[in-house]
Amino acid sequence: MGVPEMEAFWRSLLEKRKANTLNADEQELFYRFGKAITNLSANPKHPGLHTHQIEPLSRKYGMKVWQSYLDQGKTARRFYWVYGPNRKEITIVGIEPHPEDGKQGAYARIKLSELPEK
């Protein structure tokens, strides 16, 4: 994963799973995030991810930022990723609730982790 916050987040889920202490929400997130990472690593344009570039975030962070689906419905969550820092690498830089509330500027509240140095 590369970004310290995202790596720590994933390791925390893994540790809780090993200890069998994931609550129901964490179990669902673990399953969905694991599946999404698998799909992303196989094909960033996997149809189940519904991947698309987010122009407001790309402008804000000065690089192309992509959004992919984790889940939909009541707990709709999205994860954000970028290519890099090295060739043939993808770095996940955030997981957030679905930001699109129908208002312009819905992505303004999204804060992503920084891309690690090459």
pLDDT at residue 92 above 70? Answer: yes
68: which 2 tokens? 């992919």
Selection from 79, 54, 83 nearest residue 69 by Cα: 79
| Of 53 and 108, more confident | 53
pTM score of the predicted model = 0.84
86: which 2 tokens? 């090295």
Helices in the chain by DSSP H: which ranges? 4-18, 24-42, 55-61
Q: 6 CB contacts (<8 Å, ≥6 apart)?
A: 91, 92, 93, 94, 95, 113
Q: Can you tell me the distance from the alpha carbon of 89 to that of 85, in angstroms, rounded to the nearest whole number?
A: 7
pLDDT in tens, 3-47: 678 888 889 999 999 999 999 989 999 999 999 999 999 999 999
